[in-house]
C-alpha cells in the first residue's frame, strides 16, 4: 500500500497535468448581485465627461457604457453592428446624457479618422477613451501560428486601438484635456490561452499600457488597463458555473468590468494611477495543479 501511494505521488509530481481537472463540483449557489447603493450613483463620478468606447454593443463594452452613463458621462461608442448600436442607444436613453453610436470597424484607419473628425466638427472633447474591441482567433497548436491569424488578431487587438489612441491622445493634448485611456487586456497577457496570437496580442497591450503611461504623463493623461478572466452571462443574466475560478466558482458578470472602468476613469479614485493593469478574474489566473493537489478547505464552522 505504501509503495503504491509513493508511486502515485511521484507520478503526479512528474506529470502534474494528470491532476489538472478537479473533481465534479458540488451543487452551486451563485452569488447574488449587490444592490446598487444610491450613495455611489448619486456621486456622478464622471459627470460631464465625454467617453468613447469601442466595441460597445455587447458584454464588457456594453457594461462599461451603461456604468459610465450611470455616473453622468456622455457616451460615444462604436460597434460593427447597426442593430447593436441602435439597441445600446435605446438602453442609454434612460440616462440624462448625450449618446451616439458609430457603426465602425476600427481596424480601418479611415473609419477611426471619420469618428475623430465628427467629434472635432461638433466640438466634442473626449475625456476618456476605452479600447474595448477585441478578437479571438482560437486556433490551437500549429493551427494557431499562421501568419493570417496573427495579422488579423494584432490588427484588431493592437494596431487598430493604437491608431485610435494616437488620434484621441493628440486631441486631448491639443485641447488641454487631462484625460484617461483604458485598454481591455486579458489574464492571458500572462497566462497561456492555447490561442497563441490572442495571448501574444494581449501581452503586447500590457507593455503598451506602460509605455504610453510614461509617454503621456507630462500631458497629465493616464493610461491603464483591465485584465478580465471569463466574463459571460447566460440569457437570463446569470453567471455560468466554472470550477477553475476559485472565488465564487463561476464566470464574472460584465457589470463588474464596467465598474472597474469607472474606477480607473474617475479622477476621484485614480488621479495617481497610471501604467496599471487591474486584474478581475475571481482568482482564475491563480489556478494550477497544486490547487488540485492541495485544495483549500472550506470554512464550514461559520467562524
Domain extents in the chain: 40-232+253-281
Q: Which of 5-19, 220-234, 286-300 has the lowest mean pLDDT?
A: 5-19
Say if residue 246's pLDDT is above 90: no
The pLDDT of residue 20 is 52
**Cα–Cα dist 99/90, whole Å:** 9
The pLDDT of residue 193 is 82
What integer is the mean pLDDT of 108-123? 97
The pLDDT of residue 42 is 62
Q: Is 132 exposed, middle or buried (0-12, 13-18, 19+ CB in 10 A)?
A: buried
What integer is the mean pLDDT of 108-137? 94
What integer is the mean pLDDT of 223-237? 89
In this prediction, residue 51 has a pLDDT band, given cuts at 50, 70 and 90, of very high
105: phi then psi, degrees, rounded to nearest 5: -120, 105
Q: Is 96 exposed, middle or buried (0-12, 13-18, 19+ CB in 10 A)?
A: exposed
Q: Which value, to the nearest 10 degrees, does the dihedral of the CA atoms of residues 289, 292, 296, 298 take? A: 150
What integer is the mean pLDDT of 70-93? 96
The residue whose grid cell reads 461638433 is 122
In this prediction, residue 34 has a pLDDT band, given cuts at 50, 70 and 90, of low
- 200-208: long-range contacts, CB 8 A cutoff, minimum separation 24: 200/150, 200/154, 201/153, 201/154, 201/157, 201/158, 202/157, 202/227, 204/154, 204/157, 204/158, 205/157, 205/158, 205/161, 206/277, 208/158, 208/162, 208/183
In this prediction, residue 205 has a pLDDT band, given cuts at 50, 70 and 90, of very high
Contact 51, 98 (CB under 8 A): no
The pLDDT of residue 188 is 86
The pLDDT of residue 140 is 60
**Cα–Cα dist 192/27, whole Å:** 29
* SS3 at position 116: helix
34: phi then psi, degrees, rounded to nearest 5: -70, 145
CB contact burial 44-79 (16+ within 10 A = b; e otherwise): ebbeebbbbbbbbbebbbbbbbbbbbbbbbbbbbbb
In this prediction, residue 18 has a pLDDT band, given cuts at 50, 70 and 90, of very low
CATH class of 40-232+253-281: alpha beta
Cβ count within 10 A of residue 81: 13
Share the mean pLDDT of the chain.
Answer: 86
Q: How do 74-79 and 99-103 pair as beta strands?
A: parallel
What integer is the mean pLDDT of 91-103? 97
Cα atoms in the Cβ-side hemisphere of radius 13 Å centred on 48: 3
Over residues 143-161, the pLDDT tens digits come to 657 788 788 889 999 999 9
For the chain, the C-alpha Rg in angstroms (whole number) is 21
**Cα–Cα dist 107/158, whole Å:** 9
Over residues 284-301, the pLDDT tens digits come to 888 888 888 888 887 665
In this prediction, residue 19 has a pLDDT band, given cuts at 50, 70 and 90, of very low
Cell of 252: 464574472
Say if residue 195's pLDDT is above 90: no
Q: Which of 52-66, 77-91, 233-247 has the lowest mean pLDDT?
A: 233-247
The pLDDT of residue 32 is 64
What integer is the mean pLDDT of 38-44? 67
Amino acid at each position: 500500500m505504501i509503495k503504491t501511494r509513493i508511486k502515485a505521488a511521484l507520478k503526479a509530481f512528474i506529470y502534474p497535468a494528470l491532476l489538472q481537472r478537479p473533481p465534479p463540483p458540488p451543487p452551486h449557489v451563485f452569488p447574488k448581485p449587490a444592490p446598487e447603493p444610491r450613495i455611489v450613483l448619486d456621486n456622478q463620478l464622471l459627470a460631464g465627461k465625454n467617453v468613447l468606447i469601442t466595441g460597445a454593443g455587447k458584454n464588457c463594452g456594453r457594461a462599461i457604457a451603461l456604468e459610465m452613463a450611470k455616473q453622468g458621462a456622455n457616451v460615444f461608442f462604436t460597434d460593427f453592428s447597426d442593430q447593436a448600436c441602435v439597441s445600446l442607444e435605446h438602453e442609454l436613453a434612460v440616462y440624462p446624457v448625450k449618446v451616439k453610436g458609430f457603426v465602425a470597424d476600427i481596424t480601418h484607419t479611415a473609419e477611426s479618422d471619420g469618428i475623430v473628425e465628427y467629434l472635432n466638427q461638433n466640438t466634442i472633447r473626449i475625456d476618456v477613451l476605452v479600447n474595448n474591441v477585441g478578437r479571438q482567433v482560437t486556433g490551437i497548436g500549429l493551427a494557431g501560428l499562421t501568419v493570417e491569424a496573427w495579422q488579423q488578431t494584432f490588427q484588431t487587438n493592437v494596431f487598430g486601438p493604437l491608431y485610435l489612441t494616437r488620434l484621441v491622445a493628440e486631441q486631448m493634448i491639443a485641447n488641454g484635456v487631462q484625460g484617461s485611456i483604458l485598454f481591455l487586456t486579458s489574464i492571458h497577457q500572462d497566462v497561456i490561452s492555447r490561442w497563441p496570437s490572442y495571448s501574444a496580442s494581449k501581452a503586447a497591450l500590457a507593455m503598451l499600457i506602460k509605455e504610453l503611461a510614461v509617454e503621456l504623463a507630462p500631458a497629465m493623461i493616464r493610461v491603464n488597463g483591465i485584465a478580465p478572466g471569463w466574463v459571460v452571462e447566460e440569457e437570463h443574466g446569470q453567471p455560468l458555473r466554472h470550477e477553475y475560478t476559485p472565488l465564487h466558482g463561476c464566470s464574472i458578470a460584465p457589470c463588474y468590468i464596467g465598474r472597474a472602468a469607472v474606477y480607473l476613469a474617475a479622477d476621484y479614485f485614480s488621479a495617481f494611477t497610471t501604467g496599471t493593469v487591474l486584474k478581475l478574474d475571481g482568482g482564475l489566473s491563480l489556478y494550477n495543479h497544486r490547487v488540485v493537489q492541495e485544495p483549500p478547505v472550506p470554512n464550514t464552522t461559520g467562524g
